[in-house]
C-alpha cells in the first residue's frame, strides 16, 4: 500500500469520526465543494480499480471470490451503495436510491451455483441485480488483510501499539496480513475490555472464555471468523484473542491454558469497515474528479439477536444492532 493510499485511508477514518460529531457540517461542505461543477461518472471497473489500490486483489486468500460478482465492468456509476452483505434489503435500497452499483465486504457468489432457479434465494437475488441493472462487487479477505482494513480498525479502537499482522504470506510486505497482534498501553482486567468491546460494537451478548478479573496486556484479534488464527495468537503469547465464530475445541483449549477469548460476533467485528470504505471511495471520487455519490446502507443489522434469561416467563429478546467505533 503506497503512502498516498495510506493517507487516504487515515483521512477516511477521520471523516467518519467527523461525521458522527457534525454530520450536517460535513455534508454541507461536500455539497459546496462540488456546487455548479459537472463531473465525470466512473465505471464499475474504475471504482474497483481505485479500491484495489488500498486492498489489492493479491491480498485475497486463494479460496476467496472477490471482485465483480454481477454486472458490466464498463457501466457508468453515479451512485454507489456500500454494505457488509448483499441482501434483498440492500438491493431494494439501491434501486430506490437509483444506484448503479453495490460494493460489499462479503461476496454473494461464494460457492458454486448449480442452478438459476429463481424460486431459491441466491438465484433470485442474482436475478434481481441483473434485472435492475445494478452491478455488485465485493472486497473480502483483501480488505481484511490491508493496512487500515477490518482488523486494523479493531486494533485502533482498542488503542493497541506495536501492532503487526498475525499471519503474513510471502511476498506480501510485513505490514499486511490476516489478523493483528498488539499491546495495551496499560494492563487491565478482562472485564474492562469486555465492557469496552460490548459498548463500541453495540453487541449486548459477548461470548467470553476467561475470568473477568484476569489481567490482559497482549491482544490478538481478527475481524470475522478467526478460529484458524488461534495457533498464531498462542505463538505470539496473546493474553486475549478477540474474534468471532470461535470453535468449541479452541474455547476449551484456551480455558485450559488460562487464556481469554472474546467472541464478539462476525457482523459486529466486521461492519465498522463499511463507513471507512464508503469514506475512502468518497475521497477517491474527490481526488479523481468523479461525479459519484456514495451512500452507506444504514439499516444493516446483525442477523443474530440475543435471548437473555432463557426462562420463557421473564426472558428478554434483544435484536441485532449495528456497531460504532467511537471511542
Domain layout of the chain by residue ranges: 3-143+271-296, 151-264
Q: How many residues does the chain have?
A: 327
Which of the four pLDDT bands, split at 50, 70 and 90, describes residue 299? very high
**pLDDT in the model for residue 37:** 58
Residues 6+ apart with CB under 8 A from 108: 69, 70, 86, 122, 125, 126, 136, 138
Q: Name the 3-class secondary structure at 66.
A: coil
Question: 239 and 217 in contact (C-beta within 8 Å)?
Answer: yes
- State how far the Cα of 50 lies from the Cα of 144, in Å rounded to an integer: 17
Q: Name the 3-class secondary structure at 316.
A: strand
Asked if domains 3-143+271-296 and 151-264 share a fold, the reply is yes
Which of the four pLDDT bands, split at 50, 70 and 90, describes residue 173? confident
Residue with cell 451503495: 81
Q: What is the mean pLDDT of residues 272-278?
A: 96
pLDDT at 89 over 70: yes
Task: Give kind and range of the element (H or E) at residue 167.
Answer: strand 161-167
Mean pLDDT over each residue of the chain, to the nearest integer? 89
Q: What is the mean pLDDT of residues 161-178?
A: 89
Helix axes 44-54, 273-288, angle to 10 degrees: 110
Domain covering 3-143+271-296, topology: 3.40.1390
Domain covering 151-264, topology: 3.40.1390
Give tens-digit pLDDT for 221-272: 999 999 999 999 999 999 999 999 999 999 999 999 999 999 999 999 999 9
**pLDDT in the model for residue 18:** 43
Helix, strand and coil percent figures for the chain, each rounded to 5: 40, 20, 40
Which of the four pLDDT bands, split at 50, 70 and 90, describes residue 38? low
Amino acid at each position: 500500500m503506497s503512502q498516498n493510499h495510506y493517507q487516504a485511508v487515515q483521512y477516511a477514518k477521520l471523516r467518519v469520526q467527523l461525521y458522527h460529531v457534525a454530520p450536517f457540517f460535513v455534508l454541507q461542505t461536500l455539497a459546496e465543494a462540488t456546487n455548479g461543477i459537472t463531473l465525470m461518472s466512473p465505471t464499475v471497473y474504475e471504482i474497483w480499480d481505485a479500491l484495489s489500490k488500498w486492498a489489492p486483489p493479491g491480498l485475497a486468500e486463494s479460496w476467496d471470490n472477490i471482485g465483480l460478482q454481477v454486472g458490466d465492468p464498463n457501466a457508468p456509476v453515479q451512485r454507489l451503495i456500500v454494505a457488509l452483505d448483499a441482501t434483498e434489503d440492500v438491493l431494494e435500497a439501491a434501486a430506490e436510491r437509483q444506484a448503479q452499483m453495490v460494493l460489499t465486504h462479503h461476496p454473494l457468489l461464494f460457492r458454486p451455483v448449480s442452478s438459476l432457479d429463481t424460486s431459491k434465494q441466491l438465484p433470485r437475488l442474482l436475478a434481481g441485480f441483473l434485472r435492475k441493472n445494478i452491478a455488485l462487487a465485493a472486497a473480502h479477505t483483501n480488505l481484511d488483510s490491508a493496512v487500515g482494513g477490518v482488523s486494523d480498525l479493531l486494533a485502533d479502537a482498542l488503542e493497541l501499539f506495536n501492532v503487526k499482522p498475525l499471519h503474513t504470506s510471502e511476498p506480501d510486505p510485513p505490514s499486511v496480513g490476516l489478523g493483528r497482534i498488539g499491546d495495551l498501553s496499560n494492563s487491565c482486567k478482562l472485564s474492562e475490555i469486555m465492557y469496552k468491546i460490548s459498548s463500541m460494537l453495540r453487541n449486548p451478548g459477548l461470548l467470553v472464555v476467561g475470568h473477568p478479573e484476569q489481567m490482559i496486556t497482549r491482544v490478538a484479534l481478527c475481524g470475522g471468523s478467526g478460529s484458524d488464527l488461534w495457533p498464531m495468537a498462542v505463538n505470539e503469547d496473546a493474553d486475549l484473542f478477540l474474534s468471532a465464530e470461535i470453535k468449541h475445541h479452541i474455547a476449551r483449549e484456551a480455558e485450559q491454558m488460562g487464556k481469554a477469548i472474546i467472541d464478539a460476533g462476525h457482523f459486529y467485528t466486521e461492519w465498522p469497515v463499511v463507513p471507512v470504505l464508503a469514506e475512502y471511495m468518497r475521497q477517491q471520487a474527490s481526488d479523481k474528479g468523479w461525479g459519484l455519490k456514495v451512500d452507506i446502507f444504514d439499516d444493516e443489522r446483525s442477523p443474530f439477536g440475543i435471548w437473555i434469561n432463557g426462562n420463557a416467563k421473564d426472558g428478554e429478546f434483544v435484536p441485532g444492532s449495528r456497531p460504532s467505533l467511537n471511542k
